[in-house]
């Protein structure tokens, strides 16, 4: 056993506090909000649960001076997955120093008793995967995997071969890959279907090592010289919305061939002059006596983010890439299963045969066969994000997270 392996084993045996969503909400605050508390999880959880548990995945440049302290601080504030970025966020002349800092940070985090987020490194190329792992000491125990930018049928085989080799050398702990789909071959209508078909085949061959598929809408927009305005969601940009729909069609199916697909980044986080009316209705905030809180959300462009998260979910997408800490609470508050959803899901899964029945809330029809996969997915989400108490809205959850 090498010295690095011995240190790694000692750290892995060290007692760690369980990782779970909303751990910053304690005691009476949590009991007032949750009918069912979120379950703890770690990197050895089953792949579906872990993929759903990503939630808001916060990117941070590897060049940040206080990288270790930043990750610890974000974990305390509820971030459960982070990406240490060696790609777009790092200038070419800073790359060597960024790699050193990424390795040093992971090694330092391995000594913390409190859980770090699920940690990934976004590499620039496949060769960086073994390079990072060879340089890691105890930090290998807190590295969940790698993010592969500009993943396509040409670059994908080398990325996945590097991941497979790395995983074989570290059998004691899963090591996952998350490809980012953002290449021009996917965006262009003439090549999209063939490219997605090749990617689907490639990912299927490495299914157990693919945690989630990420969508890189910023690079997609760059194909057309587009940058969406903060008054619009990505689904208002039709050429990109079409790509997202096709990605879900090929890679998000619930027949056993699909993967968890995460939503693209929301770029805005500061006040600005608005052209259109805010996207948040006033009524839910009046009911929760939180009208000033609505003004706070609108002033920081979070009303657009909330709408985009809702549209992500409606289009078969879970979780989201985020680049600002203020976005995390919005993603997580809207990931909590409502009491109504939970009740419907339980009712649907209790029936083995088909048929139709009125919802327990007496406001919709539940079709037992067509809604079954939705119900199973809803209960899986309930495990990691919990179930809100009856009468608790996203406004209550979001305001509690923001003020915690």
pLDDT of residue 29 exceeding 90, the answer is no
Euclidean distance between CA atoms 238 and 236, whole angstroms: 6
How much is the pLDDT for 17?
Answer: 62
Distance (Å, whole) CA 289 – CA 184: 47
Q: What is the pLDDT of residue 6?
A: 44
pLDDT at 387: 98
269 band by pLDDT with thresholds 50, 70 and 90: confident
Higher pLDDT, 301 or 140: 140
With vertex at residue 271, the alpha carbon angle to CA 216 and CA 328, rounded to the nearest 5 degrees, is 45
Contact (Cβ atoms closer than 8 angstroms) between residue 187 and residue 223: yes
Show the domains of the chain with their CATH numbers: 40-333 (3.20.20.60), 339-385 (no CATH)
Q: What is the mean pLDDT of residues 199-222?
A: 97
Confidence of residue 296 (pLDDT cuts 50, 70, 90): low
Structure tokens at 161: 């071969």
Which of 29-43, 185-199, 292-306, 381-395 bottoms out in mean pLDDT, i.e. has the lowest? 292-306
Angle of the 128-135 helix axis to the 95-109 helix axis, nearest 10 = 50
Task: Please give the pLDDT value at position 250.
Answer: 98
pLDDT tier at 248, thresholds 50, 70, 90: very high
Which contiguous run of DSSP H or E holds residue 143?
Answer: strand 143-148
Identify the pLDDT of residue 292.
Answer: 67
- Position 96 scores a pLDDT of 96
Rg (CA), the chain: 21
Q: Average model confidence (pLDDT) for the chain?
A: 90
Average pLDDT of the segment spanning 137-165: 97
CB atoms within 10 A of CB 248: 17
The listed range with the strongest mean pLDDT (12-16, 17-21, 67-71) is: 67-71
- 175: closest CA among 110, 127, 215, 129? 129
What is the per-residue burial (b if ≥16 Cβ within 10 Å, else e) of 336-346? bbbbbbbbbbe
Other residues' Cβ atoms within 10 Å of the Cβ of residue 312: 24
**Whether residue 381 has pLDDT greater than 90:** yes
The dihedrals phi and psi of 32, each to the nearest 5 degrees, come to -75, -20
Q: Find the mean pLDDT for residues 3-13.
A: 44
Question: Is the confidence at residue 64, as pLDDT, over 60?
Answer: yes
The residue among 278 and 242 whose pLDDT is bigger is 242
Is pLDDT of 30 > 50?
yes
Q: Which two tokens stand for residue 82?
A: 């982070």
Q: Which residues pair with 388 in a beta bridge?
A: 34
* Inter-axis angle of helices 291-299 and 302-314, nearest 10: 90
Q: What is the pLDDT of residue 229?
A: 85
Report the interhelical angle of 67-76 vs 95-109 (nearest 10°).
50
pLDDT of residue 90: 94
Task: Judge whether residue 361 has pLDDT over 80.
Answer: yes
Mean pLDDT over residues 143-164, rounded? Answer: 97
Closest CA to 262 of 88, 75, 60, 54: 54
């Amino acid at each position: 056993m090498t010295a690095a392996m011995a240190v790694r084993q000692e750290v892995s045996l060290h007692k760690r506090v369980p990782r779970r969503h909303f751990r910053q909400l304690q005691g009476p605050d949590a009991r007032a909000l949750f009918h069912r508390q979120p379950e703890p999880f770690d990197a050895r959880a089953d792949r579906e649960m872990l993929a759903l548990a990503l939630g808001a995945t916060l990117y941070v440049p590897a060049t940040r001076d206080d990288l270790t302290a930043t990750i610890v601080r974000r974990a305390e504030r509820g971030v459960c997955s982070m990406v240490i970025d060696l790609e777009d966020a790092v200038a070419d002349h800073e790359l060597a120093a960024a790699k050193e800092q990424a390795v040093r940070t992971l090694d330092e985090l391995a000594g913390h008793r409190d859980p770090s987020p699920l940690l990934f490194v976004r590499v620039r190329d496949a060769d960086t995967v073994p390079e990072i792992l060879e340089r890691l000491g105890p930090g290998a125990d807190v590295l969940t995997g790698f993010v592969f930018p500009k993943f396509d049928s040409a670059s994908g085989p080398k990325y996945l071969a590097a991941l497979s080799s790395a995983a074989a050398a570290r059998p004691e702990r899963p090591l996952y890959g998350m490809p980012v789909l953002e290449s021009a071959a996917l965006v262009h209508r003439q090549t999209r279907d063939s490219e997605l078909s090749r990617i689907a085949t490639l990912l299927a061959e490495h299914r157990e090592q693919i945690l989630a598929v990420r969508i890189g809408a910023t690079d997609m927009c760059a194909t057309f010289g587009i940058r969406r305005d903060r008054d619009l969601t990505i689904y208002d940009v039709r050429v990109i919305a079409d790509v997202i729909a096709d990605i879900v069609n090929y890679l998000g199916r619930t027949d056993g061939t699909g993967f968890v697909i995460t939503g693209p980044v929301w770029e805005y986080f500061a006040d600005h002059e608005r052209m259109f009316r805010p996207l948040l209705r006033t009524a839910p905030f009046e009911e929760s006596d939180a009208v000033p809180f609505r003004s706070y959300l609108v002033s920081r462009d979070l009303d657009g983010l909330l709408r985009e998260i809702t549209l992500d979910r409606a289009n078969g997408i879970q979780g989201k890439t985020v680049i600002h800490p203020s976005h995390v609470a919005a993603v997580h508050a809207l990931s909590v299963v409502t009491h109504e959803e939970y009740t419907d899901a339980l009712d649907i899964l209790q029936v083995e045969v088909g048929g139709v029945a009125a919802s327990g809330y007496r406001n919709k029809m539940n079709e037992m066969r067509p809604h079954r996969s939705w119900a199973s997915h809803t209960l899986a989400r309930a495990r990691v994000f919990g179930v809100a108490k009856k009468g608790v809205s996203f406004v209550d959850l979001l305001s509690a997270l923001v003020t915690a």
